[in-house]
Structure 1
Amino acid sequence: MKKLVKLIAILALVSLSQISVAGDPVEKKSEMKMDHAMGTMDESKMMEHLKIRQEEMLKMHDLSNKILAETDPNKKQALKDQQLELIKAEHIQMMSMHHPKMMKMDK
């Protein structure tokens, strides 16, 4: 069961790329945008992007582990809420990068 939960968490993280964690500057993300005409990213920017994604994934995994280990229902729910906010921020960031016109219409 633990492996299934971890697998689901990993799949959710992979499918929800470009998380913008509260407090992380958005400027970092905009510097790493791919050249859409060429579909490429220079290697240094790609490595920076991957390091940021790795840190974001580690934060999500840490929260998942804390949620699974927590026995107090109130604390467990608070951790779940915190994780949901991270997922939401990642989703908004991803949508703004891939569908900027749709994001402008929502405002």
Structure 2
Amino acid sequence: MEPASTIVKLLGGPSKVARLVGVHRTRVSSWKRSKDRGGTGGRIPQSHHEALLAAAAEQGIALAAEDFIGSRPGAEDARQSPAADRTTPGSREAAE
């Protein structure tokens, strides 16, 4: 679920993100599950935003606070999470 799926993928996956924020990998995976399945519905807890933004900046990944806000149910904006089109590890080198 978005935006968690895209952000976790950009930052290297659940295990790496778990190390960055100091939680177990399964906690990070729960961010990508729907609420009816015990997840957060794609939301990353706000308490982790600062650490993830800092890690992204250190890795040269364009990630902004707005990327943590998913679209509202029923919203007609069909775009992917803004982070989906951003630099991923290794893509900067490939583009140069």
**What TM-score, normalized to structure 2?**
0.33
**What TM-score, normalized to structure 1?**
0.30
